[in-house]
Structure 1
Amino acid sequence: MNTTTATFNISPRDCDLTNCIVENIRRDPSLCHESICVDVRDCRAVLRGTVSNYGARIAALEAAEEVHGIASVTGELTVEVPRHLRRSDAQIRDTVLDALKWRACLPSGAVTVSVFNGGVTLSGKVDWSYQRKLAEKVLVRLPGITSISNQLSVSDRQIQLEVSARIRAALCVAAETRADAIKVEVRDGIVTLRGPLPVVSERALVIAAAQNHSEVRNVCDALNTIAAA
């Protein structure tokens, strides 16, 4: 029996949002036996309770995030793996390595896996952003896992392409030629911007476009922003 509960001493709007989240959770077969409490205040949802596997935790958060009108979702759910489904850290690590190799198709040695009390940590570097996301996705439903810390970084080439695209979007179509003139260099997550930028007001847009990339650690501004005569 689903034991999802809701807190009703709240505003009518938050009450409606709470009910929508509860219904979303109840409709998910993977969550039908989980104990989850939903609390919404000022359109911000908090999920509390215990779930039997890490996949259920992710599914519950996604069910809440799907509700229109929810501003944010915080997961305070504890994963308590049933005794008959528990695995040793060594067993979990072997299973994770197999999944990364055969399901995520990552080359052997690209990802370092460490496991402690069921918590999995991924570290290393992959070529593309989708590989970083896929590495975590293929692990979510594996038995015995209580948490996943994805510390994978992506290649400098990927960051370079994405930062260039962000700069182009920031300057808009009318400024494509100026965007093309900006050279983006990336080394170990540090971005250096070079080239002419005659419109001084666009400098902040360009730098912000680079800084807002999740994999960028620092931005070195070497732009020439002297306005053309």
Structure 2
Amino acid sequence: MSTATMARSDADIQGDVLAELAWDARLRASEVGVSVTSGIVTLTGQVDSYARKWSAERAAHRVRGNRAVANDIEVRLPGSAERTDTDIATAASRALEWDAFVPVDRIETTAANGWLTLRGEVEWGFQKRAAERALRRLTGVRGVTNLIAVQPTGDLGEEEIERDIRTALARRVDLDAGTIEIGVDGETVVLVGEVRSWLEREEAERIAWAAPGVADVEIRLSIAC
């Protein structure tokens, strides 16, 4: 059995997550608690920005052997980072306008108690992701809910969508496309199978969203452990 697929103990995973948090200069590892049960990583504690909460989650996902991450970290803004909802909404609008990948005229942003909600319709999955990414690092934001719908243009058939995704997966050196089954129902893609890491799972999802004609992606990929 290869090192990449060997089962790892919860203690080993916990130790590596703690080390990864300490390695990431954007984080203060002492603020984040880590527990692991059956390969499921749970993050707790308090941080002073949504960006740090998100960075901690990403750090945990980078560790080999984790099956999933539950992010229970609380965002507690210091007084210097407090912003009114009007200020946050204004900053969010400007951030979307400055992002070349976001069709800002198709997106509505609402700020309530420091929490941003995105609504609207875009043609591509990467546009939906870009809109959320543009807002994560704004000062005063406690969280982001992305309700943007993807409404693709064009009339590609299910077989064409499946073929395009399969070809794209096969091109990637960091993915074992043979372990992933692709199902297409209308404009919805379903990925089923097993991958070696959470990052590999995320990359497969990104590729599926990038295919023309895709309105939704369901991920049923388990992590080998």
Q: 1:62 aligned to 53, 58, 61, which one?
A: 58
Secondary structure of the 2:92 match is helix
Q: Partner residue of 1:128?
A: 124
Q: Partner residue of 1:212?
A: 190
Alignment of 1:82-101 (within 5 A): 82-101=78-97
Tell me, in whole angstroms, the C-alpha distance in 2 between the residues paired with 1:157 and 1:71.
35
Identity of aligned residues (%): 26
Alignment of 1:1-229 (within 5 A): 13-32=9-28, 35-157=31-153, 161=156, 163-168=158-163, 207=185, 210=188, 212=190, 215-216=215-216
Q: Summarize deviations over 1:49-80 as a string: whole Å, max 9, x none.
A: 11110110110001000001111101011111
Q: Could you say which structure has the greater relative contact order, defined with CA pairs below 8 angstroms and 6 or more residues apart?
A: 2
Tell me, in whole angstroms, the C-alpha distance in 2 between the residues paired with 1:28 and 1:162.
44
> TM-score scaled by structure 2?
0.68
**Offset, 1:166:** 3.9
Aligned-residue RMSD, C-alpha:
2.9
**Offset, 1:206:** 5.1
Q: Summarize deviations over 1:105-144 as a string: whole Å, max 9, x none.
A: 5344311010111000000011211111111111111100
How many residues matched? 174
- The residue type equivalent to 1:212 in the other structure is V
**Offset, 1:169:** 6.4
Secondary structure of the 1:141 match is coil
- The residue type equivalent to 2:36 in the other structure is V
Contact 2:33–2:44 (CA under 8 A) maintained in structure 1 = yes
Larger Rg: 1
Question: Which stretches in structure 2 are left out of the alignment for 5+ residues?
Answer: 1-7, 168-182, 192-213, 218-225
Tell me, in whole angstroms, the C-alpha distance in 1 between the residues paired with 2:109 and 2:39.
37
Q: Partner residue of 1:227?
A: none
Contact 1:104–1:138 (CA under 8 A) maintained in structure 2 = no
**Offset, 1:28:** 1.1
> TM-score scaled by structure 1?
0.67
Secondary structure of the 2:105 match is coil
Tell me, in whole angstroms, the C-alpha distance in 1 between the residues paired with 2:104 and 2:188.
31
Question: Which stretches in structure 1 are left out of the alignment for 5+ residues?
Answer: 1-11, 174-204, 218-229
